Every structure is written in structure tokens, then in C-alpha cells.
Amino acid sequence: MKKTFELSAPIDLSPSTGEYPRMDARKLLLTITLPLYVIDQITKWWIVLNFPLPSIYSDLNRKIVVIEDVFNIIRVHNTGVAFGMGNGTAWAPFVFLTIPIIALTVITLMWKKGVFTSWQGKGAFALLLTGILGNLTDRLTQGFALEHLKDESFWTRLMNGYVVDFLDVILPWYGSWPTFNVADSCICVAAVLLIVTAWKDESKANPKSA
């Protein structure tokens, strides 16, 4: 007697719902978050190991010109956040070590409550984790790689952690855009995906206005 096996129902990719019920957190972490996190860290450590310490007082800072007057690779230490806010302040190391931990906790709770249901939302979740973990790793480790602090206390070296930025883009109507990295890029893409998600949710709630 032949046994028959019933195939499980296919994943519903209906555009009407936009939900991917089987795309669990582990799959997102393995396929999106982890690979991009590894790329982020490899590129940053390559910069640290191959570029001298940046100095605002020196013209000898290394720069790799990828596209003349458009795109360069440089080394920048950012102890603040986007656009250099808080950079160089005494309070920045403590505050910007605490905020990512709070953000990770909030995002995890939002996932467990089912906030990220559409593919855009799930993608944003994975990219936000990449961005936050990538820059948090910098703040926790880079201070210990500074040679001039090797004899300092653990706390001093931790508080001298910084985010490695290296992508330097020059916009014709703006000038040099604030230097960024792979983790920053992930956060920006996640923000766009969240805006799209919010717009789609608004369209569903008010179909006449869409």
C-alpha cells in the first residue's frame, strides 16, 4: 500500500495583505542581518588597519579617490550620531552606548507584538538590527584598538569608542555629505521601508483617499 504525503500549503504572498507569515526572525537574521553585519565590520576594520588616525590638523590623511569629486574612501571617527551631532562631547560616549541598547530592546518587543507584518516591515526590522548592532560594536571595541590608549583603564578605553565612517560622497548641490558606513546605510534604507509601510497602512485604512 503506497503512502501519500500531503504537501503543506504554499506561503501566501497575496499583495492584498503583504504578509509573509513564515518569514521568521531567525531567517531574517541569517539572510539579511548577519551578512550585512559581517560586511559592515570587515569594511570598518579594513579602514582601521590600512588608514592612519584621522587628524583635523594634518593634510596627510589618506584618501582613496573612487570617482573624482564624487566619491572617496576616507577614515573618520564619529563619537556622535548622524551628521556628527554630539561628536567630541564628554557626554556622547555614555549616551550613545545606552541609546542603541534601548533601541534594540524596543525593536525586539515590537517584533514580538507583531508590528512588522509586511515584507517592507520585516526588511526594516532586519536592517535596523544590522545598523544598530554594527555601530554599537564599534563603540564597544574601537577604543581598545587605539594604540595611544593601551595603558589606560578599561573605562577610559571604552569611553573613547567611536563609530568608523569611511564613505565620503560629494553632492553637487550640497558639497560633502556627512561621512557614513554600511550600518548607517542599512538604517537609512530601513527608514524608507518604514515610511512605505506607514503609507500602505494609511492607504488601507482610508481606501478612498489612496
The tens digit of pLDDT for each residue in 24-78 reads 888 999 999 999 999 999 999 999 999 999 876 555 578 999 999 999 999 999 8
H and E: helices and strands count for the chain:
6, 4
Collapsing DSSP to helix, strand or coil, 74 comes out as strand
> What cell numbers appear for 20 in the block?
509573509
Q: Which residues of 22-50 are buried (b: 16+ CB within 10 A; e: fewer)?
A: ebebeebbeebbeebbeebbebbeebbee
d(CA 97, CA 115): 25
Query: 181 or 54: which carries more pLDDT confidence?
Result: 181
What's the residue count for the chain? 210
Residue positions annotated with a catalytic role: 165, 184
Is 9 part of any domain?
no
Number of domains the chain contains: 1
Is 3 part of any domain?
no
Is 148 part of any domain?
yes
Name the DSSP letter for residue 176: E
Is 51 part of any domain?
yes
Is 78 part of any domain?
yes
The confidence band for 91, taking pLDDT boundaries of 50, 70 and 90, is confident
Q: Which domain holds residue 38?
A: 25-202
d(CA 32, CA 193): 14
Please write the tens of the pLDDT for every residue from 99-121.
Answer: 999 999 999 999 988 888 888 99
d(CA 192, CA 47): 28
